[in-house]
């Protein structure tokens, strides 16, 4: 006879946190939301610890190098999507790792034989007024000059004027040599009253810029998630098909952590992928696995050697796995069950494996619920897809701005490897949709607002860190009428009064 779970499959919206005693120390500025990303032994510290409990999903519409840099600045990490050629995914990883905190790769470059018209076009395209002039017009070419907004006057110069005629030549540039520290570079900016400082190697090739405006930016980003070389941390998705070629390329490119991108993790293919990493790299390369929704799946991946385990099947806003296959589980029930298995595994082995809740987050308060139920961090797709930094188009539809957002199981992404069951390659039917999400502005503003809500809620619960939240918080199931009571009700909202006329 089939096994039946006693409890219904529940979502985050079916729970509420119950306030606890709050001391005078329970203020948002005192809350610590750092969290482990990879497993560790009792009494030891994790090798990788994030400054905020947020990661961006392994999706074409969410996680590219631009998103990775933006999220790392706030203290989280992105997993660059795997549904692309190995070479292009590795190139994205390299771009993130080369974007050393404070050291920026030049993305506005031109040759000296090009024209003022091309300078103007490049400025309009990139939005940057500082343009490196290199012999070949590339970011790594031998630098011969610099153009800034003060180098030319459009109203008084012919459009075909050569760049070489108005650029500041290399002989007049103040620059730093490769190996300069960020502190030394900032001192040069201030001492010479510069807005931009080129950094060049021994062959005269441009390696980076350091900008005065970034000095304030780094002061404003105290939670930056950096490696020991002050480079941004970045993750990468892998699949269970081409992992023997993809993983070495991503590791060589500098990926700090890997994650198997799959709709279902309780499989022999995932065990084989993890085994390959352990044979080739030992514990030196970290890899997460998933997704699972109950204790047996967690134990399987824990025994296979996963560094973290991802929870969730069918709970994403663009995922239609449940209606296509009848497979999945409510995200709250899944997190609670897997967290109990994780805690039992820790008591048995002394190894604590972090859990990632992937999907089911509709409102900001769901983040706090997921953490309280046992997740150590969250993976978010729709949430991050709404921001300027996501790689999708911003459109105006019926007077409202939206961004495109599609699932990895949609015909648009055609990421069949994510749903691989070992047969012929290809997507036999869709498990995701192609959609729009309301445009929400910058990542920085939204992430800080969401995390302020999380911290404030934690204070209401009387806790100051995530382990205490998981240990001491009380939760209650809510009824259907209680859910209605939780919102505005029995009043006429002011923005609806026009309907009364």
Residues forming beta bridges with residue 236, ordered by sequence position: 80, 258
Residue partners of 174: CB distance under 8 A and separation at least 6:
188, 192, 194, 197
CA 253 → CA 88, 90, 249, 276, 311, distances in Å? 11, 6, 6, 18, 28
- Options 26, 259, 319, 461, the catalytic residue: 319
User: How far is residue 345 from each of residues 53, 271, 453, measured CA to CA in Å?
Assistant: 22, 18, 31
Rounded (5°) CA angle 406-297-301:
90
Q: Are 374 and 339 in contact (CB under 8 A)?
A: yes
Q: In what order do the strands lie in the sheet with 400-406?
A: 394-397, 400-406, 434-438
Residue in the structure block whose two tokens are 């296959």: 325
Give the strand pairing for 235-238 and 257-260.
parallel
User: Catalytic: which of 299, 418, 459, 461?
Assistant: 418
Taking only Cα atoms into account, the Rg of the chain, rounded to an integer number of angstroms, comes to 25
Distance between CA 133 and CA 113 in Å, rounded? 10
- For residue 476, give both structure tokens: 């209650």
Does the annotation mark 319 as catalytic?
yes
Q: Count the Cβ atoms, other than its own, within 10 Å of residue 198.
A: 20
What is residue 200's three-state secondary structure?
A: strand
Structure tokens at 371: 């953490």
Tokens 């390959």 belong to residue:
276
Q: Active-site positions?
A: 319, 418
């Amino acid at each position: 006879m089939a096994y039946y779970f006693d409890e219904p499959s529940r979502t985050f919206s079916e729970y509420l946190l119950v306030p606890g005693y709050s001391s005078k120390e329970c203020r948002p500025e005192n809350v610590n939301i750092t969290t482990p990303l990879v497993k560790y032994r009792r009494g030891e510290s994790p090798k990788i610890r994030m400054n905020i409990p947020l990661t961006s999903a392994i999706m074409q519409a969410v996680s590219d190098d631009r998103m990775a840099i933006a999220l790392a600045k706030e203290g989280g990490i992105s997993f660059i999507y795997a549904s692309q050629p190995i070479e292009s995914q590795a190139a994205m990883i390299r771009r993130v790792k080369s974007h050393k905190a404070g050291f920026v790769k030049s993305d506005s470059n031109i040759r000296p034989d090009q024209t003022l018209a091309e300078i103007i076009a490049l400025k309009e395209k990139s939005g940057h007024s500082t343009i490196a002039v290199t012999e070949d017009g590339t970011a790594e070419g031998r630098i011969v000059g610099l153009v800034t907004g003060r180098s030319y006057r459009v109203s008084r110069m012919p459009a075909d004027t050569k760049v070489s005629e108005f650029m500041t030549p290399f002989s007049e540039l103040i620059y730093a040599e490769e190996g300069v520290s960020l502190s030394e570079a900032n001192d040069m900016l201030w001492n010479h009253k510069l807005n931009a400082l080129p950094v060049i190697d021994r062959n005269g090739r441009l390696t980076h810029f350091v900008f005065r405006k970034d000095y304030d930016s780094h002061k404003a980003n105290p939670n930056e998630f950096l490696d020991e070389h002050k480079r941004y941390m970045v993750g990468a998705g892998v699949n269970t098909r081409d992992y023997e070629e993809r993983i070495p390329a991503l590791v060589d490119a500098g990926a700090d952590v890997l994650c198997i991108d799959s709709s279902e993790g309780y499989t022999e293919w995932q065990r084989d992928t993890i085994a390959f990493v352990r044979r080739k790299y030992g514990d030196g390369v970290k890899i997460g696995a998933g997704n699972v929704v109950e204790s047996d799946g967690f134990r399987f991946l824990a025994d296979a050697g996963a560094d973290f385990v991802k929870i969730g099947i069918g709970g994403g806003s663009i995922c239609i796995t449940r209606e296509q296959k009848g497979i999945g589980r409510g995200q709250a029930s899944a997190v609670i069950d897997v967290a109990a298995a994780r805690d039992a595994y820790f008591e048995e082995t002394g190894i604590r494996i972090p859990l990632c809740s992937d999907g089911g987050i509709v409102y900001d308060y769901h983040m706090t619920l997921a953490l309280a139920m046992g997740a150590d961090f969250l993976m978010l797709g729709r949430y991050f897809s709404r921001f300027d930094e996501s790689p999708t188009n911003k459109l105006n539809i019926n007077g409202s701005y939206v961004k495109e957002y599609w699932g990895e199981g949609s015909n648009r992404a055609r990421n069949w490897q994510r749903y691989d069951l070992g047969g012929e390659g290809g997507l036999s039917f869709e498990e995701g949709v192609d959609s729009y999400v309301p445009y929400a502005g910058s990542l920085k503003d939204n992430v800080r607002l969401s995390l302020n809500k999380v911290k404030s809620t934690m204070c209401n619960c009387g806790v100051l860190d995530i382990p205490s939240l998981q240990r001491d918080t009380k939760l209650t199931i809510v009824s259907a009428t209680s859910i209605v009571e939780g919102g505005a009700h029995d009043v006429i909202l002011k923005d609806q009064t026009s309907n009364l006329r």
